[in-house]
Structure 1
Amino acid sequence: MHRRLCRRLSFAIFVGILLTLYRSVQELPQVNSPHPLQRRVGVRGKAPLVTVLIWWYPFGKKSKIQDCDSSYNIQGCRLTTDRRLYPISQAVIIHHRDLGGNVSQLPAGPRPASQRWVWMNFESPTHSSGLEVLNGVFNWTMSYKRGSDIFIPYGYLYPKKRTEGKVALPSKSKLVAWVISNWNEDHARVQYYHRLNRYVDIDLYGRYHQPLQNDSIVLTISPYKFYLAFENSQHMDYITEKLWRNALMSSTVPIVLGPSRANYEQYIPADSFIHVDDFSTPKKLARHLMLLDKNARSYRKYFDWRRRYNVHLAKFWEEPYCKVCEAVKNARASDHKSISNLASWFQ
């Protein structure tokens, strides 16, 4: 019995020593401990290499946030809309149209020293108000405009693995089409349409006009030879999906109204499109279209580019999100800056 009592006392003493050691370790300062917000949202251990906070869903439309690794082979990214992760986010994406120049909607409180605020905007200057109050607020710009810190055009051409032979086109039984939903008589594109329509028939689709076939622009436009890729406003580099998807991906020849021909030629071959400025009057443009309609060889020359290139259409919004993550990963701490002249630069 005496031996049993001694064993119990020895065990109790051993347990007491362990508890004392445990308490002393708990009182030591924690090295590389996770941020309190990481613990609160259930993130354990080492955080992902880059956390990108999306301050708003663009235009208030919720969408599934894709994985950058599987979509773009960009690893180590965490995209989130959880504002509790603001203190540990390396970048915060703020969509201009949702901000609208109201600086009170920007993140409040101190900004982490290494955090980048990214101004994201894919609208033209004509439809981007409230820029003046944002000078000095953002660290990076992300837009369709060349010279952006993160340049994302609406589309681009990329080389095929090998040059192909004859280009296969869908059957063409119609002449000119235009898809437009935002009809405004003050827009240059609507005014030009009225003048051109005097000399050539143009089929209209979209709101207030004919419905799209199976709700598909490509299916609707493919039977046409020409498409009016007219922008809602004319600014440098503002070349939208009206060219890339509506025209080029629909296998039609784009008739463009936007920035200058020289600007378009920075994106696509000179012989792949028709610019309204190529003709002194809409009447002369109409005559050219009717000549091409009767000359298959001349018409097909507008598609020679397809032997060498494919069309990439930007994926909104996953592509911009992942490109921000990639930019953060490639950035150096010494590259930190602020955009002091956002308004004058963009306009």
Structure 2
Amino acid sequence: MKTLLNHCGRWSGKICTRMLFSLFVLCALVVVYLWNQCGQYHTEFHADEKDELPGEAKRPKIVYWAKPPHNIVWTFIDLPNGDGGCDLSFDRDDAPTADALVFVMKTCKPDDLPPFKFRRANQVYIWYSHESAWTSKHFYKHSLTQYDGYFNWTMTHRADSDVVAPMWPIPALDYFLYTIGRTADMIDENLAKNAKLAVEDHRSQVTLLVKMKTNLAAWIVSDCTLTQGARSRTRLVRKLEAAGLKLSKYGKCVHNPLSFNLSVLFETLSTFKFYLAFENSFHCTDYITEKTVYNGFMSGAVPVIHGPSKQDAARLLPKGSYIHMGDFKKLKDLVNFMLYLDHNDTAYQEYFNWWMDPGAQTFPRYGFNFGATYMPRIAYLPQYSHGYVQDDWLENQRFGLYHLCRRLKRGDHINQRHTLPSLADWWYGSEPPECKQ
């Protein structure tokens, strides 16, 4: 610079000023180029970019940038009535042409984000978690403050997510959306409004179900000590057993593993009257997992719930379909109530009255409209036959993908684009104190 100033002294001030300005511009361009090449992100969009229009007849593309930690072999089926119809990729090379990039909470890292040059105006970046806020904060140690102004949509179990992704079976998507009041996201609202199961059919099905029950209660657990919540529920189960609960236990914790194959899971659990749906998080908003939905409802066992608040359970689950631990002052009272239902078929059968609720026939129920002894005359919706429930445990994580696909096909990534100012405030800030401890 000193040398340059010496040269400037030999020229006019105007020429020197131009030279210095040109040098400044050149340096600025180099800095911007290096910044983009380093893969750092920026919080603004190319707002004037026009790469597609709403309603175009193209298949939206969904790309996982931060992949799930397990090996997924999902088949993204094109279901009738508008479900499906999107392409799913786990190859980062497809990111520049994707309509949506998904970032899984477990593997998303601030230093491993797409280069800014990839980001198009009509492309949404989606933060996805099927774990609770407690788990992401205390177990995975994610503060999320590094993502201020970065993600466009959220995809979680919470009803206030941009893409609702609880662990429910795909056929029940409209049923669940109707339950939480997201009717605008439904394909066919009538499916969730109208009950199709006649009283006579219901009576015969429930009678058959009860005849299958030869055991009292089951619990599957593979995480018994890894987290504080897991340790708490393990102690709780031991207290229930001490109070007289006869319990059959499966999973790695008790050295009695059960296959992730859904047919094996349902065949086993369908013989039990109750399933202990105990979460490893307490009172985290809307956090109701496959323990209640798959191990309970789909297998035909009444779930005994601990973890979700009574308010969340009442808002999200069919009325009278479960037993909530919060209704009992003592564990002994809960055990006595379960034993009472075990000896009173009439009272026990009332927990399946929800099968006649509006839309309940879209919900897969093992042995009746899905799985072994499948009866086509009961499954009045052939497009939701058992063939659309993938026969592996990870199937429960596809729910959000189908909801995301619906929104992309509708053009919401173009018409309803926004950015979260603070992902941490949204994910952690609104949770009850019990969930954050």
- Higher-Rg structure is 1
Write the mapping of 1:115-154 to structure 2, written as runs, cut at 5 A: 115-128=123-136, 129-130=141-142, 131-154=144-167
Aligned to 1:197: 241
1:106 equivalent among 106, 113, 119 = 113
Q: Deviations over 1:252-301 (max 9, x none)?
A: 11110011122111122332111111100101111111111221111111
Q: Does 1:329 align with 2:397?
A: no
1:341 paired residue number: 422
2:351 is aligned with 1:302: yes
| 1:218 corresponds to 2:266 | yes
Of 177, 183, 200, the match for 2:218? 177
Change over 3 Å in CA distance of 1:293–1:70 after alignment to 2: closer
SS at 2:212 equivalent: coil
Per-residue CA deviation, residues 154-177 of structure 1 (Å, 9 max, x unaligned), is 125556533343023142222111
Note if contact 2:217-2:247 (Cα within 8 Å) is conserved in structure 1. Answer: yes
Question: Does the 8 A contact of 2:62 with 2:99 survive in 1?
Answer: yes
Cα distance per residue 1:37-90 (max 9 Å; x no partner):
xxxxxxxxx9944222221431141424424x3477347633323333322222
Listed as ranges, the gaps of 5+ residues in structure 1 are: 1-34, 36-45
- Residue 75 and residue 196 in structure 1: after superposition, are their counterparts in 2 closer, same or farther (change >3 A)? closer
**Cα distance in 1 between the residues matched to 2:149 and 2:260:** 47
| Partner secondary structure for residue 147 of structure 1 | coil
CA–CA distance in structure 1, aligned partners of residues 84 and 159 of structure 2: 26
The 8 Å contact of residues 177 and 226 in structure 1, kept in 2 or not, is answered as yes
Go from structure 1 to structure 2 and tell me whether the alpha carbon gap of 1:227 and 1:59 turns closer, same or farther (over 3 Å shift). same
Letter in 2 for 1:144: H
Residue-pair matches, total: 300
1:195-253 CA-to-partner distances (Å, cap 9, x unmatched) read 11112221111114234389622122222111101111121111000001101111111
Give the equivalent residue in structure 2 for 1:25: none
SS of the residue corresponding to residue 103 of structure 1 reads: coil
Indicate conservation of the 8 Å contact 2:213/2:271, yes or no.
yes
Structure 2 residue corresponding to 1:80, chosen from 84, 89, 114: 89
What is the match of residue 43 of structure 1? none
Deviation at 1:152, TM superposition (A): 2.1
Q: Give, in angstroms, the shift of residue 180 of structure 1.
A: 0.7
Q: Distance in 1 between matches of 2:308 and 2:74?
A: 34
Task: Considering fraction of residues, name the structure with more helix.
Answer: 2
Report if aligned partners of 2:166, 2:400 keep a CA contact under 8 Å in 1.
no
Higher strand share: 1
Which 5+ residue runs of structure 2 have no aligned equivalent?
1-50, 176-191, 365-388, 429-437
- Cα distance change, pair 252–116 in 1 and its aligned pair in 2 (3 A): same
**Identity score, percent:** 30
Q: TM-score, normalized by length of structure 1?
A: 0.78
**Structure 1: how far apart are the matches of 2:397 and 2:342?**
38
In structure 2, what residue type is equivalent to 1:93? V
Residues 322 and 262 (structure 1), Cα distance of their counterparts in 2 relative to 1, 3 Å cut: closer
Q: Which moved more, 1:316-325 or 1:114-123?
A: 316-325
Aligned-residue CA RMSD in angstroms?
Answer: 2.7
The amino acid across from 1:63 in the alignment is V
In the alignment, the residues of structure 1 paired with residue 155 and residue 107 of structure 2 have an alpha-carbon distance, to the nearest angstrom, of 15
Structure 2 matches for 1:16-165, cutoff 5 A?
Answer: 48-67=58-77, 69-70=78-79, 73-74=82-83, 77-99=86-108, 102-110=109-117, 111-128=119-136, 129-130=141-142, 131-155=144-168, 160-165=195-200
Whether contact under 8 Å (1:181, 1:207) holds in the other structure is yes
Task: Tell me how far apart the structure 2 counterparts of residues 337 and 273 of structure 1 sit (CA, whole Å).
Answer: 38
1:142–1:151 contact (8 Å) kept in structure 2: yes
**Partners in 1 of 2:65 and 2:259 — Cα distance?**
36
Aligned to 1:23: none
> TM-score scaled to structure 2, two decimals?
0.63
Q: 1:341 to 1:303 in 2, by over 3 A?
A: same
Alignment partner, residue 17 of structure 1: none
Say if 2:407 and 2:413, in contact at 8 Å, map to a contact too. no
Mapped contact 1:48–1:76 kept (Cα < 8 A): no
Structure 2 letter corresponding to 1:212: L
- The question of whether the paired residues in 2 share the 8 Å contact of 1:136 and 1:341 is answered with yes
Identify the residue that residue 263 of structure 1 maps to in structure 2: 312
The separation in 2 between residues aligned to 1:306 and 1:89, in whole angstroms, is 40
